[in-house]
Amino acid sequence: MEQFFVFTGRNLKSYFRDRGSVFFSLLSMFIVIVLMVFFLGDMYIENTVAILGEFPGRDAAVDRENAELLILIWNFAGILSINAVTVTLAVYSVMIKDRVTGKMNSIYTAPVSRGIITGGYMAAAWTASVLVCTITLFITEIYGIIKGMDAFSPLTHVQLIGLILVNSFVYAAFMYLLAMAAKTEGAWSGIGTVIGTLVGFLGGIYIPIGSLSPAIGTLMKCTPIIYGTSMFRSVMTEAVAEITFSGVPEEVLEEYRIVTGIHLDVFDRTIGITEEWLGLFLCGILLLAAGIMALKYGRKSDR
């Protein structure tokens, strides 16, 4: 067990010492922030205000203030989902460098089992993702409070940490499977470019899933990223959404949640957070099993 922690710590230090790798792992987050601040944010706010304005007797100024806060938190939830993907991907660059430079062969000759080596890479990716996402959560919460949001309750914090843990687990397993297939740094860089480009779209972060065609929406629901995004949005926006849509029929709020991806409609049924969490956890287990199989049948190529 000591060898496992030492190797995991070595991988974490390698990642965090590489400032370029850390920066590029957070680049998608910065892109989302820029898009929301300068382009998309106002459009989503206007759409929300327009929905509320269809009902008589409402205070337009209050509606706009609440809509701005709702979209802000909605955006923060998307950022948490993105970071889990991009950070785990970046951490595995340590594994790719070890393979390319021949360090992995030296590691395999050490009196350490392959299970510990594999677990050390995966644990480092999972730990880094949990740390970055947790820090992001508290930074965004503080910013939200400054903007007028009520602080999350202790129960909400527990829920969000649980979501971060399972979401990071899924991508630690998924990125390990991809890293097993990438034999060069160029290949891994290409994979990172594709994933970094697609993650914002597949997660419904740039454009809400309800604004896309049914075919695109179905495709998005075949990937884990949209479910992680939905979980974070459902928990983080619950209170402010209720306040924003107070005095509006419940079905209007539910339709808004479906369109914006706060809730997901799968097979004509709205699924809950528990189902999403369990689904992601099962997905992580399956990806982990696939990674173990890839390790088993890839032994000869690694040596």
pLDDT in tens, 39-56: 788 889 999 999 998 988
CA–CA dist 67, 59 (Å, integer): 12
pLDDT at position 131 over 70: yes
**Contact yes or no for 233/77 (Cβ under 8 A):** yes
Please write the tens of the pLDDT for every residue from 181-223: 888 888 998 998 899 888 889 999 888 998 888 899 999 999 9
pLDDT bin (cut points 50, 70, 90) of residue 75 is very high
pLDDT at position 270 over 50: yes
Higher pLDDT, 291 or 195: 195
pLDDT attached to residue 303: 47
**Contact yes or no for 77/32 (Cβ under 8 A):** no
pLDDT attached to residue 13: 93
pLDDT at position 299 over 70: no
CA–CA dist 271, 260 (Å, integer): 15
Q: What are phi and psi of 191, to 5 degrees?
A: -60, -40
Over range 19-27, report the average pLDDT: 85
- Token pair belonging to 169: 């687990």
The model carries a pTM of 0.90
CA–CA dist 68, 54 (Å, integer): 18
Any bridge partners for residue 294, and if so which?
A: none
pLDDT at position 152 over 90: yes
pLDDT at position 300 over 60: no
pLDDT at position 73 over 90: yes
pLDDT at position 72 over 60: yes
Q: Which residues contact 243 (CB under 8 A, 6 or more apart)?
A: 66
pLDDT at position 298 over 70: no
